[in-house]
Amino acid sequence: MTSVDQTPLADYTTRHRLDGRGFVVAGAGQGIGRQTAAALVQAGARVICCDIRADLAHEVAAEVDGIPWVGDATSRDDVQRLVEEGTAALGRIDGLVDIIGMAHYGDAVTVDDERLGWQFDIVLRHAILLTQHVGRVMAASGGGTMVFICSTSGLTATPQTAAYGAAKAGLISWIKTVADELGPAGVRVNGVAPGMVWTPRVSGLIGERGRALVDERTPLRRMAEPDDIASAVLFLSTDLSSFVTGQTLVVDGGITNSFPYPMAALAELAGIVEAKS
């Protein structure tokens, strides 16, 4: 205490701990999900590692000392089973992290009904199902945290992934509303919006040449790694963020802050600056 401030100093070293808390990580099999499961376990949580692929769920669970679970999060029956089996294994569910989501590439005006339905299922509908079933048990047991992986695609134009961007924008809106509804029950709901992340799926898609292009356009001059996103998820899952809800934290190396026009080149053409030799 000081002469003008009588409040006690907070114990910040314990606010980042999750000792004894039970978490469900949906989409834990690789990339961001794998790193998130590891981050939560290292902070003291007990973690159920969920994936639609049994081999990945079991591999990651063995690697991080978690509990494997296999199922389809786009199925209401499977989500209900996850909550029931998760509650039985953990005692109670204190946290949910939802990593699930993929993008379909193509012109906006050519996306057919099958692809459109799949896109909204894999990005938004499953998140709604998880929120409904997990949210009810969290509210009944005294609260908890939910963190959803959103995307900068929900914040900007996304040529070639229009349906994905629209679904992610819907997810960001969903987070705001359910945070408002579940807040009185002690449930915090937030999102993390990455730009492109060097996951196994993305690396296989764009390769090193694509990575170099993203690095060049990003103010921090590198693409995100999965652990960059997991670190933000960990913050939103701990008591360090105990007064944060309804927010989507952008973790993109500053790329969405960049002015879209090539101003240096335009200034040079206009004679405002001299050409570089």
Mind telling me the catalytic residues? 164
Query: What does residue 188 show for φ and ψ, rounded to 5 degrees?
Result: -100, 140
Strand order in the sheet with 187-194: 67-70, 46-51, 22-26, 95-98, 144-149, 187-194, 248-251
Q: Look up residue 99 and give its two tokens.
A: 């990593």
Q: How far apart are CA 105 and CA 115, in angstroms?
A: 10
Angle at 33 between CA 232 and CA 258, to 5 degrees: 45
CA separation (Å) from 122 to 24, 75, 130, 216, 253?
A: 17, 11, 12, 30, 25
Sign, CA torsion 203/207/212/218: negative
In which element (H, E) is residue 39 found? helix 31-42
Are the beta carbons of 166 and 150 closer than 8 angstroms? no
Angle at 50 between CA 175 and CA 203, to 5 degrees: 85
Give ∠ CA 126-51-131 in degrees, rounded to 5.
Answer: 30
Question: For 273, phi and psi rounded to 5 degrees?
Answer: -130, 155
